[in-house]
Amino acid sequence: MENLYDLIIIGSGPAGLSSGLYGARAKLKTLIIEKSKTGGQIVTTHDVANYPGSIEDASGPKLIARMVEQCKSFGAEMVKDNIVDADIDGEIKVVKGEKGEYKGKALIIATGATPKKLGAPGEKELTGKGVSYCATCDGDFFTDLEVFAVGGGNSAVEEGMFLTKFARKVTIVHRRDELSCAKSIEEKAKDNPNIEFMFNTSIKELHGDGILEKVVFENTVTGETMEYEADEEDGTMGVFVFVGLNPQTDLFKDKINMDKRGYIITDEDMRTNIDGVFAAGDCRVKTLRQVVTATSDGAIATINAEKYIENKEWNLEEFMM
């Protein structure tokens, strides 16, 4: 049985690490698989002040480092591999990666979500050359420059405020006539003298010769356009995009129930429509995508996966052959 895990978790964000912690502490043979960077989106977040008890050193990377240490201290295994296919209908769940094949009695999908793109001409070519999706990663590059933060939700406004630590001016660009973030966040942003707002505005085009030099804005009400060029002395500016997320669930398309946007449908116990398969965190249908709800999802998913494993009569003869 050496190659059979009790619990396989795909993804190592807060949901996956919470799942791994609960699994390992319950003495389940637990494997966490991550294709790239441990921690998911939270490692790009500078401040996690809304996570209960996270007062000092409340940065995303530090919080994730502590979660990883906890998982490993209880015996959870972690591997780096890009999962390319999964057989989830059988009694034993088979997960196939570029580096190997993994088998488990239960599977938790915690693959998270990634930032949406604007879809504007020039965005792809200028990504990393003025266009960014991570204020924590790239804010320092725009010290004393002008920056535009696109979006009106909590993330856009919070990251816009963070960017004022570096940029001399931050303009929050929102396609509607009012912000959709929490009122407390909105009030804080409007009190910040280095933040301005452009409402009923979207970005139509991005231009530059190897670096972002010009942005074409469009009024979403009138259709009028306006070109904005970087200050001649600066030579460039920044556009940070925070317009929502895409669930990372393509691997399970047509294999599991999802909504029209691609989020996995679960019940309140994180169960999917497939026995022994659970989903947790940003990849599932939910009303709030925050660290606190992701870790809660992970704990709930593992507790119910443990019950599933304990209550099922296993026929492992085929696996042992």
Q: CB count, 10 Å around CB of 104?
A: 24
Give the separation between CA 72 and CA 24, rounded to whole angstroms: 8
Please choose, from the candidates 203, 210, 198, the residue with its C-alpha nearest in 3D space to the C-alpha of residue 235: 210
Helix (H) or strand (E) holding 305: helix 291-311
DSSP state of 155: H
The active-site residue out of 6, 138, 282, 297 is 138
> Is 275 tagged catalytic?
no
- Which residues 6+ apart lie within 8 Å of 103 measured at CB? 3, 4, 5, 8, 92, 93, 94, 95, 319
How far apart CA 242 and CA 52 sit, in angstroms, is: 24
Cβ neighbors of 11 (< 8 A, separation 6 or more) are 32, 33, 34, 40, 109, 110, 111, 112, 248, 281, 283
Those residues whose C-beta lies under 8 Å from the C-beta of residue 254, and which sit 6 or more positions away, are none
**Is 47 part of the annotated catalytic residue set?**
no
CA distance 86 to 251: 8
Which position among 47, 134, 234, 275 bears the catalytic label? Answer: 134
CA distance 220 to 60: 35
Rg of the chain, C-alpha, whole Å:
22
181 labelled catalytic: no
User: For the purposes of burial, counting CB atoms within 10 Å of the CB of 233, is it exposed (0-12), middle (13-18) or buried (19 or more)?
Assistant: exposed
Q: Which of 89, 137, 259, 267 is catalytic?
A: 137
Active-site positions? 134, 137-138
